[in-house]
């Protein structure tokens, strides 16, 4: 098993690439969802503010 | 020809709902394909006879480089549609694409540099392929910065669209750079005329990863497009009913 993780001596290059990819894939999902939630909350606030003033 | 369907699709309420409906159809297959591709690439594929196990970096490097260009193409096409036919939704697609594309350009450059070190003996060379990919990152940065620097939405849409469209000339330069100029970068594995220069057991995980990454882009684009629509239409009455439910 440790032989597998050593990647034939290239572990220091192979694993960081896959780790960076995982970070970018996860970041994109989190960032997109956060933006959507924030925009949704803004719309709801404006809607309730508009209701209150009318 | 009847264009009603097109205008219906381009209307924000429809687009918002359709994007939400499409999301799982992109997201779940993307997840399955990426997991399968990782297993195929990291476990099933044999080591390369020249590069040993270092060649496995291709399974994340090539898909991210592919996305960096596909997303730029998507962004520029949407920008052109928005500019020519004055469709606001198209500008929203362009705005939603830019940060995703920039992140995959960074990833392509980073994984390329890490792969370059053991194979070429250097992290970076100023050759045509690497320089044109770096230029792609600057183009993304320019489009994002230009969009952010103009307050008026219509002007910001138009200005960033022009820059995005001009930058399209860089895409063929990136693709053909390895044929036109001397470079350390290897030639394309998949688009070689004739047949791909890769054994089947190494090739299928790469194809699966390419498709998985492409669908993944679709999923993230749907979420980002929905928030763009929310931001652009925040006072529309349809929206209040939509997000309130």
What distance in Å separates the CA atoms of residue B112 and residue A20, rounded to the nearest whole number?
12
Options 1.10.10, 1.20.120, 2.30.30, 3.40.50; CATH of B19-244: 1.20.120
**pLDDT for the residue A44:** 87
B48 - beta bridge partners? B52
Buried b (16+ CB within 10 A) or exposed e, B125-155: eeebbbbbbeebbebbebbbebbeeeeeeee
Chain-chain contact of B54 with A38 (C-beta, under 8 angstroms): no
CB-based contact (8 Å) between B241 and chain A? no
Is the per-residue pLDDT at A51 higher than 80?
no
Query: Measured over all CA atoms, what is the biggest interatomic distance in chain B, rounded to whole angstroms?
Result: 63
**pLDDT for the residue B185:** 87
**pLDDT for the residue B45:** 93
CB-based contact (8 Å) between A45 and chain B? no
**What contacts B16, CB < 8 A, 6 or more positions away?**
B226, B229, B230, B239, B242
Chain-chain contact of A21 with B64 (C-beta, under 8 angstroms): yes
**pLDDT for the residue B186:** 83
By Cβ distance, the residue of A14, A27, A40 closest to B243 is A40
Is residue B207 within 8 A of residue B214, CB to CB? The reply is: no
pLDDT in tens, B220-231: 999 999 999 999
The full length of chain B comes to 245
CA dihedral B186, B187, B191, B197 (to 10 degrees): -60
Is the per-residue pLDDT at A53 higher than 90?
no
What distance in Å separates the CA atoms of residue A41 and residue B6, rounded to the nearest whole number?
30
- Residue A33, both tokens: 């969802």
Is residue B56 within 8 A of residue A5, CB to CB? The reply is: no
Asked whether the ipTM of the predicted complex exceeds the cut of 0.85, the reply is yes
- Helix, strand and coil percent figures for chain B, each rounded to 5: 80, 0, 20
**Of the candidates B152, B150, B151, B142, the residue with the CA atom closest to the CA atom of residue B98:** B142
CB-based contact (8 Å) between B106 and chain A? yes
Is residue B189 within 8 A of residue B198, CB to CB? The reply is: yes
Range of the domain at A17: 2-53
DSSP state of A8: G
Chain-chain contact of B231 with A39 (C-beta, under 8 angstroms): yes
**pLDDT for the residue B245:** 55
Ranges in chain B, pLDDT < 70: 1, 191-196, 244-245
By Cβ distance, the residue of B107, B240, B243 closest to A21 is B107
- pLDDT band at residue A2 under the 50/70/90 scheme: confident
Can you tell me whether residue B48 is helix, strand or coil?
strand
Annotated domain spans of chain B: 19-244
Chain-chain contact of A40 with B52 (C-beta, under 8 angstroms): no
- pLDDT band at residue A1 under the 50/70/90 scheme: low
Mutation pick from B31, B234, B236, B241 vs chain A, by most beta carbons of A within 10 Å, is: B234
> For all residues of chain A together, what is the average pLDDT?
90
**pLDDT for the residue B244:** 67
Number of structural domains (chain A) is 1
Mutation pick from B232, B240, B245 vs chain A, by most beta carbons of A within 10 Å, is: B240
Chain-chain contact of A13 with B56 (C-beta, under 8 angstroms): no
B93 to chain A: which residues are within 8 Å by CB?
A: none
Minimal-distance CA residue of chain A relative to B212:
A25
The more confident residue out of A53 and B205 is: B205
Is the per-residue pLDDT at A54 higher than 60?
no
A46 to chain B: which residues are within 8 Å by CB?
A: 234-235
């Amino acid at each position: 098993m440790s032989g597998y993780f050593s990647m034939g001596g290239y572990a220091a290059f192979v694993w960081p690439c896959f780790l960076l990819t995982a970070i970018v894939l996860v970041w994109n999902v989190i960032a997109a969802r956060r933006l959507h939630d924030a925009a949704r909350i803004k719309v709801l606030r404006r809607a309730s503010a508009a209701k209150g003033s009318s | 020809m009847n264009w009603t369907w097109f205008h219906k699709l381009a209307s924000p309420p429809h687009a918002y709902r359709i994007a939400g409906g499409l999301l799982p159809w992109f997201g779940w297959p993307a997840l399955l394909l990426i997991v399968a591709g990782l297993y195929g690439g990291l476990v099933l594929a044999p080591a390369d006879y020249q590069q040993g196990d270092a060649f496995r970096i291709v399974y994340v490097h090539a898909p991210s480089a592919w996305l960096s260009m596909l997303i730029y193409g998507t962004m520029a096409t949407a920008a052109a549609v928005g500019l020519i036919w004055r469709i606001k939704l198209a500008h929203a697609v362009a705005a939603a694409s830019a940060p995703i594309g920039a992140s995959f350009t960074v990833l392509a450059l980073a994984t390329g540099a890490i792969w370059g070190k053991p194979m070429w003996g250097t992290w970076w060379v100023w050759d045509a392929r690497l320089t044109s990919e770096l230029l792609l990152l600057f183009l993304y940065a320019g489009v994002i910065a230009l969009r952010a620097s103009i307050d008026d939405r219509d002007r910001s849409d138009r200005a960033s669209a022009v820059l995005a469209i001009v930058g399209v000339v860089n895409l063929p330069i990136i693709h053909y750079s390895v044929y036109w100029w001397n470079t350390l970068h290897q030639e394309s594995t998949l688009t070689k005329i004739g047949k791909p220069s890769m054994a089947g057991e190494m090739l299928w995980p790469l194809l699966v990863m390419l498709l998985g990454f492409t669908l993944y882009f679709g999923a993230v684009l749907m979420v980002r497009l929905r928030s763009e629509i929310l931001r652009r239409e925040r006072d529309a009455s349809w929206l209040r009913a939509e997000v309130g439910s």
